[in-house]
Structure 1
Amino acid sequence: MTERARVVARVCQDTPSTEGTPVRENFIWDLKHTPSIVWCPTYKVASTTWMRNFLRLGRFNEHNPRIPRNLSAEETEKKRLMPKYGATHSAAFAMYGRPPTESERARALRDSVRLIIVRHPFTRLLSAYRDKMAKRDPRPRKFKFEDLQAYIVTRYRSSRSADASPFPSFPEFAQFVIDSTGNFSSAAQWKEHVRCWVPYWAHCGVCDYDYNIIMKLETMEDDQQFLIALSQLNELRTETSWAHLNGVSSSQLAMQYYKNLTRHQMLQLYKRYELDFKLFQYHIHDYLSVAKDA
């Protein structure tokens, strides 16, 4: 953990200022544990799993009369954390709202474990594609992902293509990301125009908040046990379930999808997420070796 934080500090020091980084409003402020935890949730990186973890820690729905009383403890626990009974991201943000004054927020940030969870930028992008571009009725509906699906197919699919799918292919989506973000230079631009695949540095103000606990999806089992022990999150000591982990993960499928991109496309995607790669010590070499023109 110390080495990860050192690398982030060094990369931030060597990086020109990311002017326009917006102040993060959507932290989870868990000030009930010692040390307290301030967490920046990131789309497609265990955010739903850890939202549920924090709801569990806050005893959410413990006395909800809508939940049947004749269930086993295991069944009751499962229902408590279902969206059907109100266990949503919004509920977690409401339960762990930010301190009311600027001085209280500054003190909380100074005294807390400042947490971010990351994964390889390419597997995160694939996860976003699978969740938002390759299925019907992607949530949240307010972001109108179905309209974006249709736009990408219209804009990037050749009239000679034999692909009749209503969903963009992964190469079509990748080219859209490349083209639509090529002139972005600030966090404000990313956050104004993009949903679900904003870089970590822009979404969480990585070079502004001095994160000192950096958990990685690739080493999550050990990393989360470290956090659980550090802040004595006793209710989570035996928790092993993962939200959304149905079937094969994007990490396992990554090479199968990326082999349909060219080296040039991969390198362009890398440039869009280059700072994330450097901040969190990820590499592109294995991906380049499977490119369709490798």
Structure 2
Amino acid sequence: MMRRHWLLVGACGWVLLILMFVSKFINFSFRIPGDYAERREMFVWTFPSVTTKHTSVQWPDKGASQPYILSSVGPSVVEPIDWQSVNEKRLELLSTVCRNSSMWNLTHTTVDKFVLDRIFVCDKHKILFCQTPKVGNTQWKKVLIVLNGMFSKVEAIPENLVHDHERNGLPRLSSMTDTEIRQRLNSYFKFFIVRDPFERLISAFKDKFVKNPRFEPWYKHDIAPAIIRKYRRSHHDDSDSVGLQFEDFVRYLGDKSGRQRLDRQFGDHIIHWLTYAELCAPCDISYNVVGHHETLERDAPYILKAAGIADLVSYPNIPPGITRYNRTKVERYFTGIGQRDVRRLYASYQGDFSLFDYQRPAFLLD
């Protein structure tokens, strides 16, 4: 009996040791998803207007039916959310800001020929697209060109044709009668894309006054000298020969009243740095979708789906990281620019910041 007793005690001891070992293994294995989730957060896009301060939106891979919110409660807690709710939140904010009487002058504009010139029409699929420069609108034009039947795929469209509005087969809303315009505004699917206002201005400055890839000489020879003469503080020696500096550009854009005469002189060339309110009248036209450049990789497929054309055309491939907001670049461009000039610039574009939930750039203003 005694021998059997000690055998039983020994067996129990081994069982306890095994259980302790297994317990440690299980605890270790449960920590792995947490580490993995933390690494994934670097690739998560955030929507401040949709989620809480500590919650991020994780969009699905192609073919998935719904995106997911990664909850701040824990890495293993996920809640389904559809893209339509993201868009609805954006439109709700837009509507709220539009009703704010204190910002009326920054958010409302007359729907005149200038605005209607920005809106391209696809009658075949009942779509209106408002062009907002420096947010990937060239690619959306390609999508509409394919839908209008001029080319079978976006890759086949020559780059020099996209912006040739006499030959690209994209009619503008301004080319139609008042009755036709009203009918389309009331019944067609309407959308446009926005981007952080200051980063968009940097992109416009680089594209038109530094690189000028499409060779538009009037920016260098006509517009830049006019801005320099009026807004450059130092004109000693041959400072005009240096070319337009970003600081000159900021002073010009921040002078809401004084720049009007220059803008009339520049004509439609100024569309690259006008506010979204001036370009697309989002408080005066009821758009169905507002896409964001920073999340375009995720927004574009859903815009195609919402417009009912996802099976007909694809949005061109986007190079990785190209749409991501770059605070370092913004800080670099604004280095050395006086806070007074930056605040005046923000005041001119505050409507765009507020309408589309872009954070006030405190790191530049305070």
Is 1:224 aligned to 2:300, yes or no? yes
Please tell me the residue identity of whatever aligns with 2:182.
A
In 2, Cα distance between equivalents of 1:77 and 1:58: 12
Pair 1:31–1:233, CA change in 2 (3 A)? farther
What is the match of residue 314 of structure 2? 237
Q: Deviations over 1:79-106 (max 9, x none)?
A: x32234x333515774344484433332
In 2, Cα distance between equivalents of 1:147 and 1:221: 37
In 2, Cα distance between equivalents of 1:228 and 1:97: 20
Is 1:254 aligned to 2:345, yes or no? no
SS at match of 2:165: helix
Please report the TM-score for the alignment, with normalisation by the length of structure 1.
0.75
What is the match of residue 66 of structure 1? none
**Could you tell me which of 244, 257, 267 is aligned with 2:343?**
267
**Could you tell me which of 8, 25, 28 is aligned with 2:116?**
25
Is 1:176 aligned to 2:280, yes or no? no
What is the match of residue 289 of structure 2? 213
SS at match of 2:121: strand
Aligned-pair distance for 1:284?
2.3
Aligned-pair distance for 1:138?
6.2
Is 1:146 aligned to 2:146, yes or no? no
Pair 1:236–1:262, CA change in 2 (3 A)? farther
What is the match of residue 92 of structure 2? 6
**Could you tell me which of 172, 196, 199 is aligned with 1:120?**
196
Aligned-pair distance for 1:51?
1.1
In 2, Cα distance between equivalents of 1:265 and 1:157: 12
Q: Deviations over 1:231-261 (max 9, x none)?
A: 223243363147xx9x977943222112332
Would you say the 8 A contact 2:209–2:219 is kept in 1?
Answer: no
Is 1:131 aligned to 2:207, yes or no? yes
User: Which range moves more in the overlay, 232-241 or 256-265?
Assistant: 232-241
Would you say the 8 A contact 1:51–1:89 is kept in 2?
Answer: no
Aligned-pair distance for 1:169?
1.7
In 2, Cα distance between equivalents of 1:274 and 1:103: 34
Aligned-pair distance for 1:4?
0.8
What is the match of residue 70 of structure 1? none
In 2, Cα distance between equivalents of 1:3 and 1:92: 38
Pair 1:173–1:284, CA change in 2 (3 A)? same
Q: Which runs of 5+ in 1 are unaligned?
A: 63-75
Aligned-pair distance for 1:199?
0.7
In 1, Cα distance between equivalents of 2:138 and 2:315: 18
* Alignment RMSD: 3.5
What is the match of residue 49 of structure 1? 139
Pair 1:138–1:267, CA change in 2 (3 A)? farther
Pair 1:249–1:109, CA change in 2 (3 A)? closer
Aligned-pair distance for 1:3?
1.0
SS at match of 1:39: strand
User: Which range moves more in the overlay, 89-98 or 41-50?
Assistant: 89-98
Would you say the 8 A contact 1:48–1:89 is kept in 2?
Answer: no
Q: Deviations over 1:140-161 (max 9, x none)?
A: 45x5443222333445152469
In 1, Cα distance between equivalents of 2:241 and 2:264: 31
* Residues paired across the two proteins, number: 266
In 2, Cα distance between equivalents of 1:140 and 1:172: 20
Q: Deviations over 1:64-85 (max 9, x none)?
A: xxxxxxxxxxxx964x32234x
Please report the TM-score for the alignment, with normalisation by the length of structure 2.
0.62
Pair 1:238–1:198, CA change in 2 (3 A)? closer
Q: Which runs of 5+ in 2 are unaligned?
A: 1-86
Pair 1:83–1:225, CA change in 2 (3 A)? closer
What is the match of residue 185 of structure 2? 109
Aligned-pair distance for 1:218?
0.8
In 2, Cα distance between equivalents of 1:184 and 1:282: 25
Would you say the 8 A contact 1:54–1:92 is kept in 2?
Answer: no
